[in-house]
């Protein structure tokens, strides 16, 4: 019955020329929440552990943009339930949901949860979320060592130093510095600046102003692997947040360079974002583009540029027109045709873009 009601609501909105991005995002979120498992606090087995953190981040942003408290119970439930060990049949893609303290062997996974709980704190102002974020960050910081002169490892197996784990470490430290005081603030700021100094010196940002995947441990130089969209996004969000705490024009300039390169490289002829793996991305790959758009929004607020809104609106429109499936499911290829709409990761990713468009919509009204 719920699905029928949602479908009728969608038909009503589609028939109206006044459909807003907020309405579209709301419908897409209602579809996503059908995959939410209240007993585990996760979106599994429909997607992975780290993707669930990104779902919470998307709901954080939507809650702020739409001025709604609707999803606060989801935050509380996930904080409580997702730490509990689950049965083996709840696993997917070698993830084992239920990590006490949101700590596992992958430092990038931990970083996603830091940002999710910082976002929940921004929505609720409940310090339990900030405390959890700080606790997770402490474990991430233990992953820093002198290999390649610094940086944290991708996993506790210590086999790879890559962009995403270190970008998340920077973003996490900067976000915490912006929300804490005195000694704590100074410590987080020191970590953020230390990480950025190291990251900037590694060469992972290439001559085209795009971020490659990581380092070759034999040479400690850029390994020239794929320039995934999420690697372009997370560093931008981290730099914007660091600039918020310790203003430095070079941080915004670097972020702008990465975004401008992304908007001319990781798009099709019509300006619709596409990633290297499409149209057959994994459960991880379908998540990447939305992460870029989410972080682009932070730059759009800090350093407005009409190109950013044009990009977001263009992609949001294409998603709703060309990648909308049954029951408001959203596919991985934003230019269409509809594909992989059975993956919660593609739903979350597309919703990041509809949420960004909602944010722009709200900014225009004010």
Query: Per-block average pLDDT, block size 10, for the chain (366 residues)?
Result: 45 55 97 95 91 98 97 98 68 60 97 98 98 98 98 98 98 98 97 98 98 98 97 98 98 98 97 94 94 98 97 98 94 85 85 97 77
CA distances from residue 309 to 5, 77, 297, 303 in whole angstroms, order as listed: 32, 34, 9, 12
Residues paired with residue 262 on neighbouring β-strands, in sequence order: none
Give the pLDDT confidence score for residue 342 in this predicted structure.
57
CA distances from residue 192 to 176, 185, 219, 246, 270 in whole angstroms, order as listed: 10, 11, 24, 10, 36
CATH of 2-365, one of 3.90.1150.10, 1.25.40.10, 3.50.50.60, 1.50.10.20: 1.50.10.20
Give the pLDDT confidence score for residue 15 in this predicted structure.
37
Q: Name, in order, each residue with C-beta under 8 angstroms of 257's C-beta and a sequence gap of 6 or more.
A: 209
Give the pLDDT confidence score for residue 291 in this predicted structure.
98
* Backbone φ and ψ of 106, nearest 5°: -105, 120
Domain boundaries, the chain: 2-365
Instruction: Annotate 95-123 with three-state secondary structure.
Output: ECCCCHHHCCCEHHHHHHHHHHHHHHHHH
Q: Name, in order, each residue with C-beta under 8 angstroms of 357's C-beta and a sequence gap of 6 or more.
A: 21, 25, 312, 313, 316
CB atoms within 10 A of CB 229: 26
First to last CA, the chain: 38
Give the pLDDT confidence score for residue 46 in this predicted structure.
86
* Backbone φ and ψ of 77, nearest 5°: -65, -45
Residue 193 near residue 150 (C-beta atoms within 8 A): no
Instruction: Annotate the chain with three-state secondary structure.
Output: CHHHHHHHHHHHHHHCCCCCHHHHHHHHHHHHHCCCECCCCECCCCCCHHHHHHHHHHHHHHHHHHCCCCCHHHHHHHHHHCCCCCCHHHCECCECCCCHHHCCCEHHHHHHHHHHHHHHHHHHCCHHHHHHHHHHHHHHHCCECCHHHCCECCECCCCCCEHHHHHHHHHHHHHHHCCCCHHHHHHHHHHHHHHHHHHHHHCCECCCCCECCEEECCCCEECCCCCCHHHHHHHHHHHHHHHHHCCCHHHHHHHHHHHHHHHHHCECCCCCECCCCCCCCCCCHHHHHHHHHHHHHHHHHHCCCHHHHHHHHHHHHHHHHHCECHHHCECCCCCCCCCCCCCHHHHHHHHHHHHHHHHHHHHHHC
Give the pLDDT confidence score for residue 98 in this predicted structure.
74
């Amino acid at each position: 019955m719920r699905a029928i009601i949602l479908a009728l609501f969608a038909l009503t909105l589609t028939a109206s020329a006044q459909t807003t991005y907020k309405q579209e995002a709301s419908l897409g979120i209602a579809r996503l929440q059908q995959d939410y498992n209240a007993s585990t606090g996760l979106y599994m087995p429909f997607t992975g552990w780290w993707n669930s953190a990104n779902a919470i981040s998307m709901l954080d942003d939507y809650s702020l943009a739409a001025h709604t408290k609707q999803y606060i119970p989801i935050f509380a439930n996930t904080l409580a339930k997702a730490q509990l060990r689950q049965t083996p049949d709840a696993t997917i893609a070698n993830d084992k949901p239920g990590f006490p303290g949101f700590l596992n062997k992958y430092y990038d996974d931990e970083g996603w949860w830091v940002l999710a709980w910082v976002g929940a704190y921004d929505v609720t102002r409940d310090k339990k979320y900030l405390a959890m974020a700080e606790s997770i960050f402490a474990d991430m910081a233990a992953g820093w060592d002198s290999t390649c002169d610094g940086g944290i490892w991708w996993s506790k197996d210590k086999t790879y130093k890559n962009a995403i784990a270190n970008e998340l470490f920077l973003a996490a430290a900067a976000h915490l510095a912006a929300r804490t005081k005195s000694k704590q603030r100074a410590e987080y700021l020191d970590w953020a600046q230390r990480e950025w100094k190291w990251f900037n010196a590694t060469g992972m940002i290439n001559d085209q102003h795009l971020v490659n995947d990581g380092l070759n441990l034999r040479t400690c130089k850029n390994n020239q692997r794929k320039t995934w969209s999420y690697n372009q996004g997370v560093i931008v969000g981290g730099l914007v947040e660091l600039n918020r705490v310790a203003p430095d024009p070079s941080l915004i300039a670097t972020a702008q360079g990465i975004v401008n390169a992304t908007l001319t490289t990781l798009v099709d002829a019509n300006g619709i974002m596409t990633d290297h793996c499409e149209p057959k991305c994994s459960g991880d790959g379908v998540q990447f583009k939305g992460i870029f758009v989410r972080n682009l929004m932070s730059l759009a607020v800090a350093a407005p540029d009409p190109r950013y809104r044009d990009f977001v609106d263009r992609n949001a429109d294409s998603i709703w027109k060309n990648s909308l499936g049954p029951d408001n499911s959203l596919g991985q290829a934003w230019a269409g045709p509809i594909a992989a709409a059975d993956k919660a990761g593609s739903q979350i990713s597309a919703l990041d873009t509809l949420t960004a468009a909602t944010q722009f919509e709200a900014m225009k009204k004010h």
